[in-house]
Amino acid sequence: MTLALADRLRHVEGSPTLALAAKAKALAKAGKPVLDFTAGEPDFPTPAHVKQAGIQAIEANHTRYTPVAGILELRKAIANNLAHRLGLKYADAEVMVSCGAKQALYNALQVLCDPEDEVIILTPYWVSYDPLVRLASATPVFVETKEADGFQPDPAAVKRAITSKTKAIILNSPSNPTGAVIEESRLKELAAVVKGARSDDSLLIISDEIYDQIVFPPARVRSIVQVDPTLIDRTILVNGVSKSYSMTGWRIGYAAGPKNVIDAMINLQSHSTSNPASISQYAALQALTGDQQDVQRMVAEFQRRRDRLVNGLNQLKPLRCTMPGGAFYAWCNVSGLGQSADATAAQWLEDALVATVPGEGFGAPGYIRLSFATSLEQIEEALTRLGQWMRTRKPAGAVRSVERG
């Protein structure tokens, strides 16, 4: 028997990135020599001093409820971190801690959106933006970014997409999945578009900066609120420790923004998850305030892997891959193969045991995402296998599509 679900869940499927990562792990567990390029998470252990802080939190019995918005020390540390890195001044009360950046985004969209509202999302987009907007009963409006333009947002196209119903625009720089780092000049133009759209300040920005420390020179990340600090009153900045500190499983993200929005997000969180795990909060506090050398070490390693993977893929004609300026994804144009990305990803998995995520879930058919949060040896082996696959591949046609379950 299938029971009826709420309308707003009708078009919401599970995260394809998480589903494909689980599938790759299951294959590996079953003894298949699968090479996993699905995972959107660093493969490094959490830095030792951060792990130690978690252990100490347990020993010190920091194992009870904390304030819903997180322990004050952590909120202060986040505010200090933003002041230090971005030069932006947030009060402690303008910061809240959540169960990963994902929950911060969820909270923000839930408290901001009404059913008639629209939210602008730039494609290709991270797989959860579309469902997160729909779960808030709002409507996603997609604005394309183009490969030929380095996947930079087109401020004129954003302007055209704004209607009287537009509540917010989601920005993500560096981007998952393209790795594009939004240039300062584009941010300035976007800021002007947002400010010029209405006579009041009712058009908001949700700036997902979760990859902002994983950036490869000469690319340079700027936040839209750095570029135009007057936007601080209408921007919800989202970040966390998951990616920069290799802490995906600890589940600590945060939001910083106007106090009334943050208060509403805290109220919402008080009725859903309450505080994020107390132990994780102490570990995150250490991550943000302790030694930062591990971050630099991990970024340098990501850069080596990026160079090898992207250059290697570009040698496998007709595959084509722009050099990502940040994050840890190679975004590969596979349209030259003459079949869907879904079909290609399914064949790579089946024929070459190389697990990737096809672009359909990112609103960008024709592309495949390969996470380079994996070892150089695995990258070499995958390039060898994909090279062999290209030489021996069956012609386009009758192929199965990737199961998303």
Nearer to ligand PMP, 102 or 234 (CB): 102
- The region of 68-76, 95-103, 185-193, 313-321 touching ligand PMP under the rule CB under 6 A is 95-103
Say how many Å lie between the first and final Cα of the chain, rounded.
20
Chain positions 172 to 201 lying near ligand PMP, rule: CB under 6 A, are 172, 176
Nearer to ligand GLU, 132 or 343 (CB): 132
Nearer to ligand PMP, 210 or 341 (CB): 210
The answer to whether 255 touches 98, Cβ cutoff 8 Å, is yes
Q: Which among 306, 115, 97 is positioned nearest to 217, based on CA atoms?
A: 306
Residues 6+ apart with CB under 8 A from 367: 124, 177, 331, 332, 333, 334, 335, 341, 358, 359
Task: Using CB under 6 A, pick the residue from 127, 132, 277, 319 that binds ligand GLU.
Answer: 127
The answer to whether 77 touches 288, Cβ cutoff 8 Å, is yes
Nearer to ligand PMP, 40 or 153 (CB): 40
Distances (CA, A) of 290 to 47, 49, 199: 10, 8, 44
State whether residue 45 is helix, strand or coil.
coil
Chain positions 255 to 284 lying near ligand GLU, rule: CB under 6 A, are none
> Site map for ligand GLU, 18-37, x if CB under 6 A?
x-------------------
Cα four-point dihedral sign 58, 59, 65, 70: negative
The minimum distance between CB 221 and ligand GLU, in angstroms, equals: 17
Q: What is the b/e burial string over 164-196, where b = at least 16 CB atoms within 10 angstroms of the residue's CB?
A: eebbbbbbbbbbbbbbbbbbeebbebbbebbee
Count of residues of this chain found to bind ligand GLU when the rule CB under 6 A is applied: 9
Chain positions 368 to 397 lying near ligand PMP, rule: CB under 6 A, are none
235 contact choice in ligand GLU, ligand PMP, none (CB below 5 to 8 Å, kind-dependent): none
The answer to whether 143 touches 20, Cβ cutoff 8 Å, is no
40: contact with ligand GLU by CB under 6 A? yes
Q: Which among 281, 229, 326 is positioned nearest to 100, based on CA atoms?
A: 281
Task: Using CB under 6 A, pick the residue from 128, 239, 339, 347 that binds ligand GLU.
Answer: 128
- The region of 50-58, 106-114, 123-131, 230-238 touching ligand GLU under the rule CB under 6 A is 123-131
127 contact choice in ligand PMP, ligand GLU, none (CB below 5 to 8 Å, kind-dependent): ligand GLU
In the bound complex, which residue of the shown chain has the CB atom lying closest to ligand GLU?
A: 40
15: contact with ligand GLU by CB under 6 A? yes
240 contact choice in ligand GLU, ligand PMP, none (CB below 5 to 8 Å, kind-dependent): ligand PMP
Task: Using CB under 6 A, pick the residue from 66, 172, 176, 246 that binds ligand GLU.
Answer: 176
The minimum distance between CB 330 and ligand GLU, in angstroms, equals: 13
Chain positions 298 to 357 lying near ligand PMP, rule: CB under 6 A, are none
- Using the structure block, give the residue that is written with the tokens 């004050």: 72
> Phi and psi dihedrals of 182, rounded to 5?
-70, 125
Q: What is the b/e burial string over 33-53, where b = at least 16 CB atoms within 10 angstroms of the residue's CB?
A: ebbbbbbbbbbeebbeebeeb
CA 284 – CA 241 distance, rounded (Å): 7
| Ranges of H-type helices in 230-325 | 259-270, 278-289, 293-315
Q: Which among 140, 66, 78, 143 is positioned nearest to 104, based on CA atoms?
A: 78
CA 111 – CA 6 distance, rounded (Å): 19
339 contact choice in ligand PMP, ligand GLU, none (CB below 5 to 8 Å, kind-dependent): none
Task: Using CB under 6 A, pick the residue from 242, 280, 286, 374 that binds ligand PMP.
Answer: 242
Nearer to ligand PMP, 54 or 253 (CB): 253
CA 105 – CA 188 distance, rounded (Å): 23
Nearer to ligand GLU, 16 or 366 (CB): 16
- Give contact residues for ligand GLU (rule: CB under 6 A): 15, 17-18, 40-41, 126-128, 176
- Give contact residues for ligand PMP (rule: CB under 6 A): 40, 100-102, 126, 172, 176, 208, 210, 240, 242, 248, 253
